[in-house]
Each structure stands twice: as structure tokens, then as C-alpha cells.
A and B are shown apart, each in its own frame.
Chain A
Amino acid sequence: MTDQDYNFAYLDEQTKRMIRRAILKGLAIPGYQVPFASREMPMPYGWGTGGVQVSAAVLTPEDTFKVIDQGADDTTNAVSIRSFFQRTAGVTTTTKTSDASVIQTRHRIPEEALTEDQILVYQVPIPEPLRFLEPRESETRKMHSLEEYGLMHVKLYEDISRHGHIATSYAYPVKVEGRYVMDPSPIPKFDNPKLGDMAAIQLFGAGREQRIYALPPYTQVVSLDFEDHPFEASKADHPCGLCGAEESYLDEVIVDDAGGRMFVCSDTDYCDARQAAGYKGKDAA
């Protein structure tokens, strides 16, 4: 049941219109960060307020909603946002990727390929890829307008000179349709290749930083790299301890005080589905 004390999906209609206009401009200018008047939400900044506002503007009562936090459906952030929309929008919720029509995510893209009937909403902490290189908003805005992205390549080059390879492993910068450099949110660079040519609509919401940006389906997204140091989507070199998957992104879990550890799929739905289908890893009970 929808909680009658609130408007459908919590936000008032004028706020939703403002967010919806920002989403449309974001889709029309892929990778460009559209400023929006982010609202106070009943959760602290940094807990996905941007993603929540975008989801609230996008949801219809018929949607099936899924939330993942670093791939997991059962962590605090995911559980609380899921129940928030269950209560304020009356939507059906699910943990199954293929059943969901709107998926809000913190820092992962589901392993299962998304379809044209799905929308992926990212929670973004720092939307500006140049922010740690240039703290002034007035300057980074100018850099985007002039397509002046040399500084970003210098940063990647410094990685190479210091570590021998590009050490940036998450929030790895991408260039969208050959124009805007975009922060894909802190997804592991393992997920970067999925950003481009995705069938689903991808929306990015940064609440504290008051920015919304978007990738329409089938958009060209290229991870920045060098000819002699090409981009590489990396993951821990192990199979999943529970389901034995070789191709999925893994979390390292410390299991005792003696240095014991195991690697498990970060996408819990993917791992559960494989285990249910009979796949077993070496650490499976």
C-alpha cells in the first residue's frame, strides 16, 4: 500500500517536473551534467539521494523496482531504498535482475545483460570527473565547454609513470559520443565496457552535487586510455567461491583471523541464480 501521507513516490509534482526536465536534457546531451535543484531527502547526502530523486521522477505504479548496493540486494542501503519506494510509491520490488523494470544501483552494473525494457539509475557521489584535478566549478565547466581534457590524460599518465600501468580501478573516466568526459560513478572499471551500447536507458543522479546526467541506449562510450597502454577491464583472478563463475566481478571476503579469504560474486542475484542452477564453487557449503 502507498503511504497516503505522501505524494506518489514521495516527491511533490513540481519537484518531479524539474527533475524530469533535467533528465530529458541529460538524454539530449549525453554525458553532460545538467544542474538540478536537489531536494532534502529523508536520508543523508551520500546515501543515494541523487539516485532516489531520479527514481522517484521515473517510477510509475506498475514498475518493478530493484536496488543494488555494490551488487548486493541485501545491504542496508539497498534494503532501505527498496522499502522506501515500496512504501511511498507502492511499487513491486524484486531482487531478480530480469524481473525489474527500474534498477537503482550503487557502484555496480548487474552481470546479466539489461534489456530495452529496463532503466538503470546510478547513485553518484562526485559527478565531475575533473573535480580532483581542478576543484573550481567555474574552471571545470569551462574545461568541458572547451573540450579541454588534457589534464585527465596527464592523471592517467602519472598513474603509468608511478605504477607502470593505469592504476585507476574504479570511477574510470569515459568519453561519451566523442564529446563529454564523464564519471561513470564509482563502478569498477570491469563494468566500463557495459556502459556503451547498452539496451537500457542509464540515468545518473548526484544529490549533494545537484547534477543529473544520462546515457541513452546504444550510446558510444569509450574508456580513456593510451595506444601503448590500452584500457583493460580487470577483476580478481579467481573463480567465485560459491558459484564458480569465472566471468563475474568478485568481492574479496576475509573469513578468519588467519589470513583466510574467499572471492565471491559481487552481484548477489547472479550468484544466487547460478547456485540455484546447480553451479558450485570450491567454498560452497
Chain B
Amino acid sequence: MQAETLSGGFANPAVQSAHAFRSVMEAMARPGTLQDIAGAEPPAPLSKAAGSVLLTLCDTDTPVYLAGDADCDAVRAWLAFHTGAPLTGPSHCMFAVGTWEALNPLSVYPVGTSEYPDRSATLIVECEALTQSGATLSGPGIKTNAALSLPSVQAFQQNRALFPLGLDFILTSGSQLAALPRTTEVS
């Protein structure tokens, strides 16, 4: 077992996960805003932000799908040690993490059922950079409109059309994150 497997978790889990969760919640409640998140030092290729989100939200109850390069021994071992989350394929995951290209196609993830729309996957999308420019966002959580650099416009429009079903997205880059719930209109 490698040293990096055991390190890089929260040193003070209760307090660090509380701060990390507030960043995730603010991002999900206010699409288009960029939030700082810290605490985790995951092995490559995971960003600190993606690692912190995983430590904050995942445990033995949440099947996780590692997409593309994220599905490597280092990440598998790190996630297993720190969260105990079972690994699974995209069709049964609650959380998925990877680059946009690796996560696609989106049609394979659970979008919830009409009676339980909450039983849908949350995708953690690793991005090169996050900026408040590009696609225009509107909807709940946004006063008038906001802008966010998104890997696609059409995919999010199709996701919005499924409402109240659909996927929710957390976009991560370095130690920053933004979120795009299914309610957000993208143009």
C-alpha cells in the first residue's frame, strides 16, 4: 500500500467537511458562482476540489463511478480507504467523477423516477478551468442571470428538459467548484 493512499484525507473531518459542504451547497443553490473548497489532497488525476467533494458526500452508502483516467489504482485505493464507497458502473452510480469526455454519454446515468426524482446521479466534472463567462444561466438560485464556462450547452439543455428528472453537476477545477442543478436554463 502506498503512502498517498493513506494521506490526503481530512485532518479534522467534522469541521473540514462542514466547510466543504457549505461550499458545495452554496454552489448548488447559486448556479454560476465559483466557490473555494479545500481539505483533501487526492492522488492524480483528481483535483483537490473533486477529492474534497467525494470525501464530503461519499461513504459506503454511495456507489461511485470513476470515469476515464480517474479510474486508476491510486484513486481506487484512496477512495476505498477514505470513504469506503463501492465502485460501480455509470448506470448504478450516485456519484460519478471524471472529465467531461470521460463521463459522456450522459444517457447512461440514472435520472431518477417520476415518484423519486432525487434518485439520480450527481456528476463531478473535472474541468481545465472555471470562469464566469461563456454560457448564460438562469433559473432558481440566480437573480437575473449568470455566466459559466461549460463544456457543452446542448447537453445541459437536454438535461433541463427532463425536469423534475435529470442529473445534477458539480464542476471542479483545482480548488474551485461550481454547480449546475437540473433546474438551470442554459443558453
Contact = CB atoms under 8 A, between A and B. Distances in A.
Q: Are both chains from one complex?
A: yes
A187 to B, nearest CB: 20
A94 to B, nearest CB: 19
Of the candidates A17, A27, A32, A217, the one having the most CB atoms from chain B within 10 angstroms of its own CB is A27
A28 interface: yes
A28 B111 CA distance: 12
Interface string A27-48: 1111010110000000000000
Interface stretch (B25-33, B71-79, B99-107): B25-33
Interface residues of B, number: 39
Interface residues of A, number: 44
A220 B163 CA distance: 16
Contacts of A35: 116, 118
A8 B140 CA distance: 31
Given A141-B115, A145-B115, A216-B141, A32 B18 contact: no
Contact of A34 (B57, B118, B163): B118
Interface in A213-265: 214-220
A16 B17 contact: yes
B92 interface: no
Interface in A117-150: 141-142, 144-146
Contacts of B164: 29, 32, 179-180
Nearest to B163: A179
Contacts of B114: 145-146
18 contacts: A17-B59, A27-B141, A28-B168, A28-B183, A30-B140, A30-B183, A59-B18, A60-B15, A145-B113, A146-B114, A177-B140, A177-B183, A179-B163, A201-B25, A216-B30, A217-B30, A217-B141, A217-B143
Interface of B: 13-15, 17-19, 21-22, 24-26, 28-30, 56-59, 61-62, 94, 113-118, 120, 122, 140-143, 163-164, 168, 181-183
A-B residue pairs, 8 tightest by C-beta = A216-B141, A8-B14, A28-B181, A145-B114, A25-B118, A219-B140, A216-B29, A216-B140
